Structure 1
Amino acid sequence: MKNIRLLFKYEAISLVRSRLFQVAIGLLLLVGLYAIYYGKSEMDQQRAVLKEIRADEAKKMESLRSKISTDTLPNVIGNRTFRLVENPPSDWASLSIGQRDIFPYQLYVRYYTLSRQIMTTEIANPEKLLTGNFDLAFVLIYIFPLFIIALSYNLISGEREGGTLSLLLSNPISESQITYIKIAFRWLLSFGIALFLVVLAVIICGIKIDNTLLWWLLATALYFAFWIGIVLIINNLKRNSSFNAFSLLGTWIVIVIVVPTLINLYLASAYAAPPRNDLTQAIRHEFEEIWAKYDDKNHRYQTAQKLAAKYPEYKSDTSYNWEDKYMLAEYDFYDERLAPLFAKYQNINLQKESVGQKLGVLSAAALTQQIFNTLAQTDTRYHYHFLEEAGRFHAEMKVFFYTKIFQNKTFKLADFEQIPKYEFKKKPINNETNNGILMLLLSVIVVWGIGIMMKK
């Protein structure tokens, strides 16, 4: 224990006196602070947009209500009622933005043709897709390993080249013990800085403390332990400091850049989605077919019979408001015909996500990014959870208005209060986080196992 304290003190003094270390710490803290600011500003902007849309929705509903003085047809109200369906960012989204800058996080939903409404909200900023996001997750995954490398490339070789290794070994301590104490000090230092930044982010971003914080810190600790294991392997080759530095930088390039890029290229090739234009054309064609058959009385009758078979409570009375009933029936089958196409796109993307998570074990950086995105609820799966919630709410809206229309009911002023409102339901963190942590732990065990065996 005395040797550990002495070495820790020696390491702390030598590092603090180093101008390079002082500059590195300063830059790391500045980069971390900027990443926190960037993530917070991005999510604050999304929250501001949602707040503005909520106010606009309330204003439009109040305007619609003020124009209705007597009972009216329910389709008159339904056609003018747009409800906001939103996916507000979680508290942790500021730290790991993930896919939130690519996928839509709000929809305006009416009670018919959900397919067309979803398609009109697709967003993708090519510049964003190219540059990515400079959030705290980026700093932890990309920048901190470089900091660990800068501190550790000459772990033992520096002592050997400076002639101080023999002096250290004159004490009752082995070279292995010196190595492990030194890397423990560097892990503690790196994790301490990361902990400071995460706690600072929690305070600045107003994040509610829950189990997510523990998972986040555990993933960070394991990721840093992985890189310390890589340092142990390279130092155990017992080469000079220059060799160690280039080897560690090469390893960083492979793990952080090359392997994730190859994984993405494989996924893009093996799970390539059909051209988006195919779905757009199908949506347009199916919609045109509805109007092309509008004047065909036989087709109208068959459509009404099909809807009545599917929903007995929506049996059409052709003597009253028949045109609107026919169109609503067609819209229902329109969504039904397009559902397999949307499911095809969704299944391909979910398969890609699932395989990507499995291949993430090849890169601790990709694996840690997946963990952070899952914790922040900014991954692809969470986006599809949002779309499922949008579909659930659309079905609720449809039942409300279809029931009134097909049962020849009028829309009363009191019914404004009964129009469904969307309530966001947060999806609990599932086993994906546990699996990611276990795979990251396995990666740490592997690299440390190799490093320890090399030391013997």
Structure 2
Amino acid sequence: MLLFKLECKRLFAGTVNKLVLVLFLLSGIFAIYQGALGYKSIRIDQYKSTVVFQKEREHVSSREALPEPGSLAYYASAPTQWQLSPWAALFVGETSSSMVAAKIRATALQSQIYNREIVNPSQQRAGGLDLGFVLVYFLPLVIGILTVTLISDEQHAGRWRLLNAMPRSVFSLVGKQIALRFVVIWFMVALLLISAALLLSLPFDIFFWTVLGATSLYMVFWFALAAIIMSFGKNSVFNSLTYLSSWVVLALLLPGAVHLYLSNQYHSDAPLEITLQLRMTLNDGWDQDKQATLDAFVAKESKWSNTAPLGEAFDWKWYYAQQHMSDIAVQDQVEAYRRSNAARQNQLQKLSVLSPALFFQLSLNELAKTSGNFQIKYQQQIADYHQTIRHYFYDFLFFDKQVSRQDIADFPKFEPQTMVAQGGSWKLPLSTAVVALMLMIAIVRIRKVKVI
């Protein structure tokens, strides 16, 4: 017990140690607060979209004369929403650079999706400051500062030979010092997660314990790395620079190299090309044979093939037929981009094993349903809902049916589907095996520390 008290005093005596721990807590609290505000803003936007659409529907339904179907289809912007986990407040992922509450009309779909991509999600790197950023990048630095100079400080103070002369094993003493630091930092991480759960009303379910367990494994990796570095018996400057260099390589350079490689391998300008091609097709359609466009449309959408031929006047059914044919004109590009994006995400998951930081960050995003894979799933839900809207209005446009107030009330709503992560069963065994190997190497090396 006396030795434990002395080690606690040593741990909290240094100004640097206390400053680092305080900064870690403050940065974690600030990240939680900022993430809570961001998530609240997302939920407000999604709620506002739903409320505004409901008000617009009530306004249209209250009018004495209802609008014609084509006009109603043009102005009816139906809200959708990315069904995020509440943990998205802590692990933002792709949600900071992509739409999460898109409004969809019956017009051409692809321009509605890709014309809004102000920031291409495939170009995103680390994202903003959230709790995931603090855990992925700041936590290893805290571990290194508190741990990597343990043995070299003892050697510099002249106590190392004395410790080796004691009957108690030096390995046991060093192990207890490392364990104390692990426990202190682990309790701080747990405190941050518990505080976030209470602040955001998150359940203490399997997800909470999964995040805590994954963070613990991540901590063990960096503690093991620090132990391996200090086991070489070098001075504090060497140990600190070696650990910092390792952090730069594993947390910054390797993830950057992976993203650079993927950016070169997979075409990232496709959204712009799709939007431009679709816009040109729409514009050219006004100068082409409108009946031929309608015939081409009903050849693909046979359910509405019994519609009457076009007259001389403008006809809404040609307009929406042209909109859909424009989507079809870029369908090959869209499918190629989706396959490329899915392949990129799959390759990113595989290459993330090169960097524990990237691997951990992607795992957190997958758990919070904010990863690129879930963005792809959300876009597919938008596409399915867009087809439902189109078909709803086609009944009126192609069969000359008038819209009633009941039809407005029966307008289909977007129903977000539960999105489940796939293909991640290998992550836990792999990460556990890597951490166990690092821990074994660290134990063997610590036992062989030279006395200088």
Question: Normalising by the residue count of structure 1, what TM-score does the alignment of the two structures yield?
Answer: 0.90
**Alignment equivalent of 2:55, drawn from 54, 59, 72:** 59
**Alignment equivalent of 2:202, drawn from 201, 204, 207:** 207
Once the two structures are overlaid, the 10-residue window that deviates more, 399-408 or 164-173, is 164-173
Partner deviation per Cα, 1:104-126 (whole Å, 9 max, x = no partner):
11221122311222133223299
Once the two structures are overlaid, the 10-residue window that deviates more, 241-250 or 285-294, is 285-294
Give the unaligned 5+ runs of structure 2: none
Equivalent residue number for residue 351 of structure 1:
343
The offset of 1:277, in angstroms, is: 3.6
User: Structure 1's 274 and 88: CA in aligned 2 closer, same or farther, altered over 3 A?
Assistant: same
Once the two structures are overlaid, the 10-residue window that deviates more, 313-322 or 22-31, is 313-322
Equivalent residue number for residue 400 of structure 1:
392
Equivalent residue number for residue 14 of structure 1:
10
Once residues 197 and 232 of structure 2 are traced to their aligned partners in structure 1, the CA distance between those partners, rounded to angstroms, is 40
Once residues 387 and 64 of structure 2 are traced to their aligned partners in structure 1, the CA distance between those partners, rounded to angstroms, is 25
Equivalent residue number for residue 252 of structure 1:
247
The offset of 1:241, in angstroms, is: 2.0
Partner deviation per Cα, 1:164-209 (whole Å, 9 max, x = no partner):
3344445442222223222222222211111111111111222233
Once residues 439 and 360 of structure 1 are traced to their aligned partners in structure 2, the CA distance between those partners, rounded to angstroms, is 12
User: Structure 1's 47 and 117: CA in aligned 2 closer, same or farther, altered over 3 A?
Assistant: same
The answer on 1:74 being equivalent to 2:69 is yes
**Alignment equivalent of 2:151, drawn from 145, 151, 156:** 156
Equivalent residue number for residue 413 of structure 2:
421
- Give the partner amino acid of 1:302: D
Contact kept, 8 Å, 1:104 with 1:123, in 2: the verdict is no
User: Structure 1's 240 and 282: CA in aligned 2 closer, same or farther, altered over 3 A?
Assistant: same
The answer on 1:32 being equivalent to 2:38 is no
The offset of 1:43, in angstroms, is: 1.7
Equivalent residue number for residue 103 of structure 1:
98
The offset of 1:313, in angstroms, is: 4.8
Equivalent residue number for residue 195 of structure 1:
190
User: Structure 1's 237 and 301: CA in aligned 2 closer, same or farther, altered over 3 A?
Assistant: closer
Secondary structure of the structure 1 residue equivalent to 2:118: coil
Partner deviation per Cα, 1:395-445 (whole Å, 9 max, x = no partner):
11122221233333332221122110112223123342x433333223312
Contact kept, 8 Å, 2:126 with 2:133, in 1: the verdict is no
Contact kept, 8 Å, 1:364 with 1:443, in 2: the verdict is no
Contact kept, 8 Å, 2:278 with 2:327, in 1: the verdict is no
Identity %: 25
Once residues 151 and 144 of structure 1 are traced to their aligned partners in structure 2, the CA distance between those partners, rounded to angstroms, is 11
Equivalent residue number for residue 442 of structure 1:
433
The offset of 1:255, in angstroms, is: 1.0
User: Structure 1's 342 and 94: CA in aligned 2 closer, same or farther, altered over 3 A?
Assistant: same
Equivalent residue number for residue 78 of structure 2:
83
Equivalent residue number for residue 172 of structure 2:
177
Partner deviation per Cα, 1:358-407 (whole Å, 9 max, x = no partner):
11111101111101111121111111111111111111112222123333
Once residues 250 and 107 of structure 1 are traced to their aligned partners in structure 2, the CA distance between those partners, rounded to angstroms, is 43
Give the unaligned 5+ runs of structure 1: none
Contact kept, 8 Å, 1:370 with 1:436, in 2: the verdict is no
Once residues 401 and 301 of structure 1 are traced to their aligned partners in structure 2, the CA distance between those partners, rounded to angstroms, is 16
The answer on 1:382 being equivalent to 2:378 is no
CA root-mean-square deviation: 2.6
Partner deviation per Cα, 1:246-301 (whole Å, 9 max, x = no partner):
11111111111111111111111122334544222211121123212245x4x256
User: Structure 1's 130 and 181: CA in aligned 2 closer, same or farther, altered over 3 A?
Assistant: closer
The offset of 1:154, in angstroms, is: 1.9
The offset of 1:346, in angstroms, is: 2.0
Equivalent residue number for residue 329 of structure 1:
321
**Alignment equivalent of 1:302, drawn from 289, 295, 302:** 295
Equivalent residue number for residue 118 of structure 1:
113
Equivalent residue number for residue 309 of structure 2:
318
Contact kept, 8 Å, 1:229 with 1:451, in 2: the verdict is yes
Once residues 104 and 19 of structure 1 are traced to their aligned partners in structure 2, the CA distance between those partners, rounded to angstroms, is 45
Equivalent residue number for residue 43 of structure 1:
39
Matching of residues 233-252 of structure 1 within 5 Å: 233-252=228-247
Secondary structure of the structure 2 residue equivalent to 1:100: helix
Once residues 76 and 251 of structure 1 are traced to their aligned partners in structure 2, the CA distance between those partners, rounded to angstroms, is 61
Equivalent residue number for residue 165 of structure 1:
160
**Alignment equivalent of 2:216, drawn from 218, 221, 226:** 221
Contact kept, 8 Å, 1:157 with 1:235, in 2: the verdict is yes
